[in-house]
Amino acid sequence: MKLLLTNDDGIDAPGIQTLASVLRREHEVWIVAPLRNKSGASSSLNMLQNLYLEQRSDKDFALDGTPVDCVLSAFTGGYLPSRPDAVISGINRGYNLGTDAVYSGTCGAARQASLTGIPGIALSVDKNPFESAGSAADSEYNYASLAEFALKNLKNLLVLCGKIRNIDEGMNYEYFINVNAPSIDSYKGVKFTKPCRRFYCGDHTVLTKEADGKTYSCFVGGGNVRCYGDEFSDAKAVADGNVSISVLYAEPAVNTEFCKKTFR
């Protein structure tokens, strides 16, 4: 298959480089990834401005934009020979569990792919679901195990994106796939999960006055994490040593029945 890889950690991150190395054993792989770290970019994109594109090799490109910019640029920029069969975003340094998927640039890229008619998969790995994402050093992360899992199970993961739908002459997939795995050599199993609720304890904002006395720099940080969910949650799955697979709606979900009952 022809695969497009992107991420939000940046093109030089070990997660995407490990994933590319493994997938290239059996697939044609292109990389279009952010020039620098864009963690927390969600589904944001840059509009009405030029973005710098750097060609690193025959099939690797770095874009000075967000993960969604990378996906849209790859689809419409004309510098790839054809549209890919799938988009894989990651492997992210740090879990994208539960409500963290809302803020994740890794998930944002996978969602954008499915909305544009190409199945999207997000891959993330971490050590402890109850600590801030990506809190360990790069050398402590096992990206290879999840890369091998993705290679072995790629076709099955793509099936989970659902059927392609024609909507007003456009096409999109119903779902994108959010995969999280613990940083270990061998997984206990695979669990189909639902997102937990993530709450960061001790979030803080630090304002520092600059030398001119008029402007401030702002640093937002977070402490430990509380995860709220039942035995079927993604946090429980990875804490037990399993790969977590969550099938998430690409489009915003709407509860029309609730609206009808409320406005009668």
Q: Determine the average pLDDT of the residues in 89-118.
A: 95
- Tell me the C-alpha distance between 165 and 117, whole Å: 8
E strands present in the chain: 2-6, 28-34, 53-55, 60-63, 86-93, 120-126, 164-167, 170-173, 175-182, 190-192, 197-200, 204-209, 216-221, 225-228, 243-249
- Tell me the C-alpha distance between 40 and 106, whole Å: 8
Q: Determine the average pLDDT of the residues in 112-120.
A: 94
Q: Determine the average pLDDT of the residues in 236-248.
A: 96
pLDDT score, position 223: 62
Examine the pLDDT at 12 and tell me if it is beyond 60.
yes
Higher pLDDT pick, 164 / 54: 54
- Token pair 């009808």 in the structure block, residue: 260
Examine the pLDDT at 168 and tell me if it is beyond 60.
no
Q: Determine the average pLDDT of the residues in 88-97.
A: 96
What is the rounded (10 degree) CA torsion for 128, 133, 185, 196? Answer: 70
Q: What percent of the chain has pLDDT over 90?
A: 70
pLDDT score, position 172: 80
Higher pLDDT pick, 147 / 225: 147
Q: Determine the average pLDDT of the residues in 47-62.
A: 95
pLDDT score, position 165: 67
pLDDT score, position 21: 98
Q: Determine the average pLDDT of the residues in 69-79.
A: 96
Average pLDDT, the chain: 90
Examine the pLDDT at 169 and tell me if it is beyond 60.
no
Mean pLDDT lowest among 33-47, 154-168, 171-185, 229-243:
154-168
Examine the pLDDT at 251 and tell me if it is beyond 70.
yes
Take residue 106 and report the two structure tokens written for it.
């890794």
pLDDT tens track for 28-40? 999 999 999 999 9
Look up residue 216 and give its DSSP letter: E
What is the DSSP code string of 14-35? HHHHHHHHHHTTTSEEEEEEES
pLDDT tens track for 181-232? 999 999 999 999 999 988 776 666 677 778 887 787 776 666 667 777 888 9
pLDDT score, position 201: 67
CATH number of 2-194+230-262: 3.40.1210.10
